[in-house]
Amino acid sequence: MTDCASQSPILVDIVVADGFVLTEFTAIVELLRTANRVTAKEAFRWRWLSKRGGVVGCRAGITIDTHPFDNKHTAQYVFVLGNSDPDAPDLSMRKTIKAYQWAGARVILLSEAASRYISETGEQLMSHTTHWENRALLNERGTPGMGSNALAADDGQITTSAGMGATYDLVLGILGDHLSAAAVATVTDIFLHETIRTSSTLQPFGGKELSRSGNRTLDQCIELMQANLEEPLRISELAGYLNISERSLERQFRKHFGTSPNAYYRELRLNQANTLLLKTSMSVRDVGLACGFSNGFSTLFGRHFGVTPTALRRARGPAG
């Protein structure tokens, strides 16, 4: 921890593009603002930037007035936000990233900004991560390597992150480098953020052991389901792996989730199909096969979501 009492404010640049993720923006700004309130001083100062400056809007319809890039590069931290479109031209900013790095800034790329950086480097390294939804697009396009499934990863030069809710953990971690433990705990309590997750914490669908029900058997069952979306296991097979009867598994799902194991499993696969339709250019047929639907995919999808896969793909627009 660095004592900020007699120091200048820590400078933070927040770089956005049209369609930026509001969750990520508010996580950064509100945590820094609250840190200043808790410490009763301007411990942090920030500004938001874009390539051309001016009004930039997020997907939620909120707009902010940004400064254009300049050559000052005085910020100690630079956050580049995702914007739901990994192919957005404004996310291609390796020259700007390099300029900040040369100036000694810590550069943090969130979600789509991270996946754009990974695609432009040409390889998914274990020292790089992005949101698990973006991993599907990288894999579909044949970007070599496996990449990390952690919330954040640092390759010694740049930090890539899943973004979204993990942005809170990243910013709280930065606060811990500059404020007292008591101040950080107070900020954490204000946001009702019970635990600051470490960067190595795994994302869902990244091997993380989640507690969905408080029931270890059910949690193990769900982990098996998530690991076998493309080639679904029969319920009898799931019960066999768990060493319980099908009737017992059915009863426990009804008690905790109000649905059957089959229905829960089918919804997991449909939700994955929804992600692939929105995030990749895979054909509708290939999406269905990738999620374990050898036939009847469009009918099941339309019945569940109220829109056909083709209509959803058509309505998503260029930003995904």
Read off the CATH number of the domain in which 171 is found: 3.40.50.880
Q: Which of 176, 114, 182, 179 is nearest to 149 (CA)?
A: 114
Domain check: are 176 and 233 in the same one?
no
Domain check: are 243 and 165 in the same one?
no
Residue 198 within a domain: no
Output the pLDDT for position 248: 95
Output the pLDDT for position 219: 85
In this structure, the chain runs to a length of: 320
Strands 158-161 and 152-154, by their bridges, are antiparallel
Residue 195 within a domain: no
| Residues 265, 267: Cα–Cα separation, whole Å | 5
Domain check: are 25 and 147 in the same one?
yes
Domain check: are 183 and 222 in the same one?
no
Contact residues for 121 (Cβ-Cβ < 8 A; gap 6+): 128
Domain that holds residue 261: 216-315
Q: Which of 152, 106, 155 is nearest to 131 (CA)?
A: 152
Output the pLDDT for position 107: 97
Domain check: are 24 and 167 in the same one?
yes
Domain check: are 86 and 162 in the same one?
yes
Q: Could you tell me the CA-to-CA distances from 288 to 47, 267, 272 in Å, in that order?
A: 44, 13, 10
Residue 210 within a domain: no
Please give the span between the terminal C-alpha atoms of the chain, in angstroms, as a whole number.
40
> Where is the domain boundary, 172, 190, 208?
190
Output the pLDDT for position 74: 92
> Dihedral angle at the C-alpha atoms of 184, 189, 194, 196, nearest 10 degrees?
-20
| Residues 73, 49: Cα–Cα separation, whole Å | 12
φ and ψ at residue 302, rounded to 5 degrees: -65, -35
- Asked whether the CA dihedral 17, 21, 26, 31 is positive or negative, the reply is negative
Domain check: are 32 and 127 in the same one?
yes
Strands (DSSP E) found in 40-163: 44-50, 54-57, 63-68, 77-80, 106-110, 152-154, 158-161
Residues 9 and 42: beta-carbon distance below 8 Å:
yes
> Dihedral angle at the C-alpha atoms of 117, 121, 125, 131, nearest 10 degrees?
20
Number of domains in the chain: 2
CATH classification of the domain holding 299: 1.10.10.60
| Residues 253, 201: Cα–Cα separation, whole Å | 27
Domain check: are 182 and 256 in the same one?
no
Which residues, in sequence order, are bridge partners of residue 80?
15, 109
Number of neighbours of residue 269 by Cβ within 10 angstroms: 23
Domain check: are 100 and 243 in the same one?
no
Domain check: are 60 and 167 in the same one?
yes
Q: Could you tell me the CA-to-CA distances from 243 to 18, 220, 221, 300 in Å, in that order?
A: 51, 11, 11, 30
Burial class (CB in 10 A: 0-12, 13-18, 19+), 249: buried
Residue 239 within a domain: yes
| Residues 278, 314: Cα–Cα separation, whole Å | 10
Output the pLDDT for position 5: 46
pTM value is 0.77
Residue 172 within a domain: yes
Domain check: are 45 and 106 in the same one?
yes
| Residues 232, 250: Cα–Cα separation, whole Å | 17
Output the pLDDT for position 320: 45
Residue 320 within a domain: no
Output the pLDDT for position 195: 85
Tell me, what amino acid is at 38? V
> Where is the domain boundary, 155, 175, 190?
190
> Where is the domain boundary, 125, 155, 190?
190
Output the pLDDT for position 315: 78
Residue 144 within a domain: yes
- Asked whether the CA dihedral 214, 218, 224, 226 is positive or negative, the reply is negative
Residue 209 within a domain: no
Domain check: are 28 and 176 in the same one?
yes
Output the pLDDT for position 12: 97
| 10-residue averages of pLDDT along the chain (320 residues) | 66 96 97 93 95 94 94 92 87 91 95 94 92 86 89 93 96 94 91 89 63 75 90 95 95 89 91 84 92 94 91 69
